[in-house]
Amino acid sequence: MRKLLLLKTIIDILWIISMPILLIILFIIPYIFLSDDYSSIPIKINENTISHIDFISKGVLSIMASSTLLVLYCIYLFKKVLLLFSQRRMFDDSVLINLNKIGEILIWFSIINIIGSFIYNLNLNKVSFEISISPLILTLSLGLFFMVLSEIFKIAKDTKEENDLTV
């Protein structure tokens, strides 16, 4: 269980570090809408450096910036799951629900960012075809992995229950 303790510590530190990011995002969203000059603060979202944007791009970028809040929520849920693990409540219903929720949120985060990036680039006529392992595809896979993990935990929970009721 030392590995779990290490992971829990890392996630706890990550959660504490994430708090200023929350404030930055809450500052960035109104900034995107109110300002037209982006030279003072360089903004880079998903490898797109923001220089000058119109109203559609503003909307897309603020949605993409807001989607980062989803990742923060995922970290919070993961923190809760690890806490339950450390309490030896591996097969608690909350674990199954939270793992599934983390998966769904990561998938939504990826979809929002993929579509957002596409619309932003389309708006700037910068559409290009690229074959590479995108971090968003990895996030999407991670989301699916969490959902599969939730299903596996459900099977394990049922097996444990059956084992407990074997006389």
Partner 1 sequence: MPIVINLDVMLAKRKMRSKELAEIIGITTANLSILKSGKAKAVRFSTLEAICKALECQPADILEYIEE
Binding residue for partner 1 (CB under 8 A) from 1, 23, 133, 165?
165
Question: Which is nearer to partner 1, 133 or 165 (by Cβ)?
Answer: 165
| Interaction between residue 166 and partner 1 (CB under 8 A) | yes
Q: Which of residues 102-161 bind partner 1 (CB under 8 A)?
A: 161
Three-point CA angle 64, 52, 139, nearest 5°: 25
Q: Which of 84, 100, 78 is nearest to 14 (CA)?
A: 78
User: Which token pair is 37?
Assistant: 């000059």
CB of 165 to partner 1, least distance (A): 4
The amino acid sitting at 25 is I
64 Cβ neighbours under 8 A, 6+ residues apart? 45, 46, 112, 113, 116, 117, 120
Please provide residue 114's backbone torsions phi and psi, each rounded to the nearest 5 degrees.
-65, -50
Q: Count residues contacting partner 1 (CB under 8 A)?
A: 5
The C-alpha atoms of residue 114 and residue 47 are separated, in whole angstroms, by 12
Question: Which is nearer to partner 1, 34 or 167 (by Cβ)?
Answer: 167
CB of 157 to partner 1, least distance (A): 14
| Interaction between residue 167 and partner 1 (CB under 8 A) | yes
CB of 163 to partner 1, least distance (A): 9
| Interaction between residue 1 and partner 1 (CB under 8 A) | no
CB of 84 to partner 1, least distance (A): 25
The C-alpha atoms of residue 165 and residue 108 are separated, in whole angstroms, by 39
Binding positions for partner 1, rule: CB under 8 A: 161-162, 165-167
